[in-house]
């Protein structure tokens, strides 16, 4: 039985005041969420604020990115050890915005996945196809390539140290959600691909769906057998909406 996880990816949003308010709102409603793990990934500078608000609660926090390097002259970069210093449990790697806007290819993502684990962080490893790739019928080829990059670099067991987020790029921030059937098909494919290397890792690894998930569509996605939670962008910025998705995940167990 895989425990669902709903993680908020706040991206580059918020102010000190709004982040404090959002954290307080999530904390106030978390008592209703019994079985689903709930996590937040604020921008780097707000991580100490999350740490202060969430220490002692059931809510872990994480970064949205990390450097491939451990330390040194890399202006503007943040190392995995710095995230663990501030109590982070998770770190997102390979988000499609990093891949498309900042040129992170499969090799860089595999490197970040490895560096995150070495620092003691659980990677939230994002994969997914663009609209053009889906329309060309190569969705499975793309996600297989992305998953294989990590398996080839670090071994299949490395996937068991974190979670995978299947995020069709055409569904991120667009209001277009994959249908539960479309998402389930890809999630099942990913799990099968992993099972080709290790049945136990495949059985235990949590595969989250991400892409315009909202309280109104979360329940039908979460009820699919291979969808183990969500990585949430826009809807994670309002405590009420985020908690609505967490509740749907909670009720799916
Ligand atoms: C994301 O960026 O990880 C995401 C899923 O965004 P949104 O929920 O806004 O589509």
Rg (CA), the chain: 17
User: Distance from the CA of 236 to the center of ligand 1, in angstroms?
Assistant: 9
Task: Quote the pLDDT of residue 66.
Answer: 98
Measured from the Cα of 167, ligand 1's closest atom is 5
The three-state secondary structure class of 129 is coil
pTM for this prediction: 0.97
Task: Quote the pLDDT of residue 176.
Answer: 87
Measured from the Cα of 213, ligand 1's closest atom is 8
Task: Quote the pLDDT of residue 9.
Answer: 98
Please answer whether residues 124 and 165 qualify as being in contact, where contact means their C-beta atoms are separated by less than 8 angstroms: yes
Give yes or no for residue 158 CB within 6 A of ligand 1. no
Q: What is the pLDDT along the chain (253 residues), one digit of tens a residue?
A: 899 999 999 999 999 999 999 999 999 999 999 999 999 999 999 999 999 999 999 999 999 999 999 999 999 999 999 999 999 999 999 999 999 999 999 999 999 999 999 999 999 999 999 999 999 999 999 999 999 999 999 999 999 989 999 999 999 989 888 999 999 999 999 999 999 999 999 999 999 999 999 999 999 999 999 999 999 999 999 999 999 999 999 999 9
- Tally of CB atoms within 10 A around 55: 10
Task: Quote the pLDDT of residue 24.
Answer: 98
**Residue nearest ligand 1's atom 6 by CA:** 233
User: Distance from the CA of 72 to the center of ligand 1, in angstroms?
Assistant: 32
Measured distance CA(146)–CA(136) in Å, rounded: 17
């Amino acid at each position: 039985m895989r425990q669902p996880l709903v993680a908020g990816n706040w991206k580059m949003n918020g102010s000190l005041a709004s982040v404090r308010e959002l954290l307080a709102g999530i904390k106030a409603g978390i008592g209703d969420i019994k079985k689903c793990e709930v996590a937040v990934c604020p921008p780097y500078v707000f991580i100490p604020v999350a740490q202060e608000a969430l220490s002692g609660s059931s809510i872990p926090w994480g970064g949205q990115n990390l450097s491939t390097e451990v330390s040194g002259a890399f202006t503007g970069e943040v190392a995995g050890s710095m995230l663990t210093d501030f109590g982070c449990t998770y770190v997102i790697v390979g988000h499609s915005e990093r891949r498309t806007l900042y040129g992170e290819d499969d090799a860089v993502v595999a490197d970040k996945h490895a560096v995150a684990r070495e620092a003691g962080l659980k990677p939230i490893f994002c994969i997914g196809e663009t609209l053009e790739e889906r329309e060309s019928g190569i969705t499975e080829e793309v996600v297989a390539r992305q998953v294989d990059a990590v398996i080839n670099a670090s071994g299949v067991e490395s996937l068991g140290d974190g979670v995978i987020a299947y995020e069709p790029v055409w569904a991120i921030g667009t209001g277009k959600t994959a249908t539960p059937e479309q998402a389930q098909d890809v999630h099942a494919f990913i799990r099968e691909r992993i099972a080709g290397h290790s049945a136990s890792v495949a059985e235990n690894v949590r595969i989250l769906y991400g892409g315009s998930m909202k309280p109104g569509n979360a329940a039908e996605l979460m009820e699919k057998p291979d969808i183990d939670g969500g990585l949430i962008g826009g809807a994670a910025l309002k405590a009420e909406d985020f908690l609505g998705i967490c509740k749907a995940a909670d009720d799916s167990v």
